[in-house]
Amino acid sequence: MERQADAPAGHDRLRFFRRIGLEDGWPGTRTKLRPTDASRFDGGDIASTFARALCERGALPVKELFEATETFALSRKVLRGPVVADLCCGHGLAGAFFALMEREVERVILVDRERPPSADLVIDALDAVAPWASPKLEWRESRLDRQTLPSGTAVLAVHACGLRTDTAIEHAIAAGGPFAALPCCRPHRQHPAPQSLKNALGHDVAIDVHRTYQLEENGYVVAWRDISPVITPKNRALIARRA
């Protein structure tokens, strides 16, 4: 496992929207974006323009915007490639940022059991600022375990609850592509990590250690990284590239 010391940005400021402070705790709030929030994204870059469009539409909760963008900032250099799959994608915002920001990305596969109304708001905002980006998006309303991904697909999982993160890892291994996840809830009782590790390290750490071993046994180098705990206390990201 490649343990990397986090840059200060991981805790005292954001990596992606650097002008937005963490002092008031706003990036971790569960309320939906509002039109009045658009003024916080005052940059002239395309990402800020997209964020303002999301605010104008009240597209999703504030914290989910920053979970997606901070995970994107951590993983973009590892995951960029022709095909990216955003698994258990919800509104699909993390995948949309790959379509918007990475020229090398030609196709983004968005997978979830149901396509929520917020997904249409995200795409509408994307069309308003970058109409060339949304044609890269391919929605698949399907169970995760029924998916087959193209060889070399980069796999992203920001909201893959419980064992779904482990299923996402299996998809990455099968496709032979890089992997990144921000696990939220971990299945303490169901997960096959050794009970001795769960007792000694705590369930969350033990489960991610087990996942790290699985990835490294299949030819990956894994880094543990963090986003700010102001956004979410479940802030550890696993970033894995092929060795």
CATH code of residue 166: 3.40.50.150
Integer Cα distance of 111 and 187 in angstroms = 21
Cβ atoms 159, 90 nearer than 8 A: yes
Query: Model-level pTM?
Result: 0.91
pLDDT digit string (tens) for 163-210?
A: 899 999 999 999 999 999 998 876 656 666 767 777 678 778 888 998
Local structure of residue 32 (DSSP, 8 states): B
**Alpha helix segments (H runs only) across the chain:** 9-12, 46-57, 62-79, 93-101, 117-129, 164-175, 195-201, 203-217
Burial (CB count within 10 angstroms: exposed 0-12, middle 13-18, buried 19+), residue 218: middle
Band (pLDDT 50/70/90 cuts) for residue 3 is very low
Question: ∠ CA 225-137-107 to the nearest 5 degrees?
Answer: 70
Choice among 90-99, 125-134, 196-205 with the minimum mean pLDDT = 196-205
In the three-class reduction of DSSP (H, G, I as helix; E, B as strand; rest coil), residue 23 is classed as coil
pLDDT at 187: 61
- pLDDT number for residue 186: 66
Q: How many domains does the chain have?
A: 1
Where in the sequence is the domain holding 86, given as residue range(s)? Answer: 2-242
Q: What is the pLDDT of residues 131-174, one digit of tens each?
A: 999 999 999 999 998 999 999 999 999 988 888 999 999 999 99
| 98 touches 91 (CB < 8 A) | no
* 239: region left, alpha or beta (phi > 0 left; psi from -120 to 50 alpha): beta
pLDDT at residue 77 tops 70: yes
Q: What is the pLDDT of residue 119?
A: 97
